Amino acid sequence: MLKKGLFFGICCFASAFSILKQVPNMHYKCRNSQYPRSNLMRLHVPDDKVPWNVEFPDYFPISYTDPSVYGKPWADVDFEKEGANPQRISWNQIDTSLNVDRTSFTGNYRLNTDGLPMNPMGRTGIKGRGLLGRWGPNHAGDPIVTRWARDLVTKSVKVDSTTKKPILQFVSIQRKDSKEWAIPGGMVDPGEMITETLKREFAEEALNCLEKTEAQRKAVNDRLDKAFKNGVEVYKGYVDDPRNTDNAWMETVAYNFHDDKNDIFNMNFKAGDDAIGVRWMNIDRNIKLYASHKHFIEKVVQLRGAHW
């Protein structure tokens, strides 16, 4: 017979693993809409024409890469504009020449007749890279910092009157570009470990670390080293991001860092970098968030047995 503690641990691991494996089977936010920060409308793609293996003879999407991407150190060359050969790129592997991870969490992606990566989730109605720096997968990290909503007087955990489940809160930032609320995440720098990305992005966007002194930044990083020690991976895969194109897309690893006693993340939050607002946000099924972030939050709710 399994001991109670061991049984509970196995069940929690199995639950977290099953949550992690749930992957969206269709993208919506990167289809049938105006491309962000442009006047370009995507070519309409019906649901049944999204998969690449379904013939779509009238599919001739416009190719677009935002001018802000050209020449940036975090961006690839533009093969269409500069006449470079995409076959020289180490697709589906670690590109040691640039220290860039070109593997996808979804498995090996296909290349089109021009030698460019094909979005593993199918057509988006626009080609090129759009606002993204890399052809193929663009990797990010999303730290989901949570705590229980508590009564200000009694400090007891608040419970929803309908579901009878405890209410979770998470640290949410308001994006500068779209004004939408989101998880304070961001791009993985070349050669950077995902654990470092999670801490760096949280410090920059939720704690305005870029405007602090070196001594203040060190103090923040020391606190985050402790606070981010015991995270749980809740998602790893494709992101339905409005910036995605047929040839460039977002992927992420999302971790939950839960403050069960509401004391670890008792910090003075201040929006910084790409954020214009930051707050603890109550979680329920009606929250409206950027890209696939609501999907990631729901996984945390399932993991913690919270109200939804």
Q: How confident is the model at residue 272 (pLDDT cuts 50, 70, 90)?
A: confident
pLDDT single digits (tens) 156-195: 999 999 999 999 999 999 998 999 999 999 999 988 999 9
Q: Which residue has the tokens 């329920």?
A: 284
The third-level CATH classification (topology) of the domain covering 4-25+140-304 is Nucleoside Triphosphate Pyrophosphohydrolase (3.90.79)
d(CA 154, CA 148): 13
Q: How far is CA 57 from CA 45, 52, 85, 124, 218, in A?
A: 12, 11, 27, 15, 57
The ranges assigned to domains in the chain are: 4-25+140-304
Q: How far is CA 100 from CA 87, 97, 107, 192, in A?
A: 16, 8, 17, 10
Is pLDDT of 24 > 70? no
Q: What does the pLDDT read at residue 6? A: 39
Q: What does the pLDDT read at residue 203? A: 92
Q: How many CB atoms lie within 10 A of CB 285?
A: 11
Q: How confident is the model at residue 11 (pLDDT cuts 50, 70, 90)?
A: very low
Residue 143 contacts residue 184 (beta carbons within 8 Å): yes
Please state, for a pLDDT cut of 70, what percent of the chain lies above it. 91
d(CA 72, CA 148): 41
Q: What does the pLDDT read at residue 8? A: 36
d(CA 194, CA 100): 13
| Residues ≥6 apart with Cβ < 8 Å to 42 | 30, 31, 32, 33, 34, 35, 61, 124, 125, 126
Is pLDDT of 260 > 80? yes
pLDDT single digits (tens) 39-87: 999 999 999 999 999 999 999 999 999 999 998 999 998 887 766 788 8
pLDDT single digits (tens) 107-148: 999 999 999 999 999 999 999 999 999 999 999 999 999 999
Write phi, then psi, for 225 (nearest 5 degrees). -55, -40
Q: What does the pLDDT read at residue 276? A: 92
Q: How far is CA 254 from CA 70, 220, 238, in A?
A: 29, 21, 11
Helix/strand/coil for 101 = strand
d(CA 303, CA 20): 10
Q: What does the pLDDT read at residue 79? A: 81
Q: What are the tokens at 139?
A: 């990797």
Q: Is the pTM of this model over 0.75?
A: yes
pLDDT single digits (tens) 196-242: 999 999 999 999 998 889 999 999 899 899 889 889 999 999 999 99
